């Protein structure tokens, strides 16, 4: 992925450190009292991925800290589940297992040191013990190259990120991993670790993406799609894309869950980083850079709390909620949860990450 859009630091997600779903419908008033956006816990470092295990327990990836953290949804209490990881970006749970994807390295530098290879999928027990590599996504990319782009220049250096998994969800069809660097969604067997290509979205062809120099790889036409979010609703899978951080280049793809066939597309978004779907079919996507000023650094005096929003698509009606720098989204038990202030570390704000509950009153 190549990007010149706001805050060059955040391009690390797309280029070097890239780095949700349903329950029975609840009454409209359930869980929706209190402020429009309720902070459940704070002090997180780079909270990207999010999985809600139950009405009382969430699991969050802290990419900047290299940790997987559990959060008590009632009290906000945190507990470190797994540590010593490099850029943990996505997390999913099922039964007694926890699955984690690690971001990969790219042209701008390698990931932080870790006992586990970059761009790999790990599995651990529910209590965080027994961590092991389940699948090597980088090896799959090098061998299969699903998007067909040129990977290396004549000197042997990668033109762009090769594999940078960002999010993951557990489905009855397997673990689905949105790999932003590889520009694909992969399916991984949670028992054997076998990998297959599930979906390869096409490049975005907005005017900005067709401009000279917008493409990182020779022969590529348009911006890389950069899949960042994956969610399940019944027999359907929804995928969100970053669109190389170019204005209007991000999209939402509705797929047949079993085959990955495209059924519907929503275009025209900017920098989507997460997606969730309510039991009613309402779609929520996080736009982490919405409202960010142009340029490589925020201007003096700029209020970073104004950056970011969550967009709700409710049977054709579109509304928005101001949530600061959101990435991971999850709809569970009649409530929408989001990780926020997730990229605050790129502008020098440490321990600023939060897990929040976003109530219907937040959307306008």
User: pLDDT of 182-233, one tens digit each?
Assistant: 999 999 999 999 999 999 999 999 999 999 888 888 999 999 999 999 999 9
> Residue 280: inside a domain, yes or no?
yes
> Residue 1: inside a domain, yes or no?
no
pLDDT of 13 over the 90 cut: no
> Residue 195: inside a domain, yes or no?
yes
Cβ of 72: how many Cβ atoms within 10 Å?
A: 14
Is the pTM of the predicted complex or chain greater than 0.85? yes
Candidate from 38-42, 234-238, 299-303 with smallest mean pLDDT: 299-303
Give the domain extent around 19: 8-362
> Residue 3: inside a domain, yes or no?
no
Average pLDDT of the chain is 88
C-alpha span between 240 and 117 (Å, rounded): 26
> Residue 16: inside a domain, yes or no?
yes
CATH of the domain at 47: 2.120.10.30
> Residue 318: inside a domain, yes or no?
yes
Number of domains in the chain: 1
For residue 302, count CB atoms less than 10 angstroms from its CB and return exposed for 0-12, middle for 13-18, buried for 19 or more. Answer: middle
User: pLDDT of 65-105, one tens digit each?
Assistant: 999 999 999 999 999 999 999 999 999 999 999 999 999 85
C-alpha span between 8 and 360 (Å, rounded): 33
The token pair at 346 is: 């790129």
> Residue 314: inside a domain, yes or no?
yes
> Residue 20: inside a domain, yes or no?
yes
SS3 291: coil
Cβ of 196: how many Cβ atoms within 10 Å?
A: 13
SS3 80: strand
């Amino acid at each position: 992925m190549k990007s010149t859009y706001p805050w060059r630091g955040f391009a690390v997600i797309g280029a070097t450190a890239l780095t949700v779903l349903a329950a029975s419908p609840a009454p409209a008033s359930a869980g929706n009292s209190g402020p429009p956006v309720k902070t459940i816990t704070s002090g997180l470092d780079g909270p990207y991925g999010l999985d809600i295990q139950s009405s009382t327990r969430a699991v969050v990836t802290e990419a900047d800290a290299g940790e997987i953290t559990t959060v008590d949804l009632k009290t906000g209490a945190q507990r470190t589940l797994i540590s010593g990881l490099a850029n943990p970006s996505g997390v999913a749970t099922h039964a007694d297992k926890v699955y984690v994807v690690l971001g990969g390295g790219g042209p701008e530098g390698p990931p932080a040191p870790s006992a586990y290879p970059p761009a790999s999928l790990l599995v651990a027990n529910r209590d965080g013990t027994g961590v092991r590599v389940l699948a090597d996504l980088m090896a799959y990319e090098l061998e299969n190259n699903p998007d067909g782009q040129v990977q290396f220049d004549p000197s042997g250096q990668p033109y762009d990120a090769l594999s940078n998994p960002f999010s993951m969800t557990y489905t009855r069809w397997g673990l689905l991993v949105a790999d932003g660097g590889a520009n694909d969604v992969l399916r991984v067997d949670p028992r054997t670790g076998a990998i297959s290509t599930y979906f390869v979205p096409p490049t975005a062809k907005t005017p900005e993406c067709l401009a000279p120099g917008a493409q990182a790889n020779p022969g590529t036409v348009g911006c890389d799609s950069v899949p960042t979010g994956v969610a399940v609703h019944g027999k359907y899978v929804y995928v969100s894309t970053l669109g190389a951080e170019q204005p209007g280049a991000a999209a939402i793809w509705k797929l047949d869950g079993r085959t990955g066939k495209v059924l519907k597309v929503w275009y025209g978004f900017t920098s989507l980083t997460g997606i969730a779907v309510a039991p009613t079919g309402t779609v929520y996507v996080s736009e982490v850079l919405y409202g960010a000023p142009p340029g490589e650094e925020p201007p003096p005096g700029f209020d970073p709390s104004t950056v970011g929003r969550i967009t709700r698509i409710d049977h054709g009606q579109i509304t928005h909620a101001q949530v600061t720098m959101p990435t991971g989204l999850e709809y569970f038990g009649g409530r929408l949860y989001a990780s926020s202030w997730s990229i605050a570390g790129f502008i020098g704000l440490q321990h600023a990450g939060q897990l929040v509950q976003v109530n219907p009153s937040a959307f306008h």
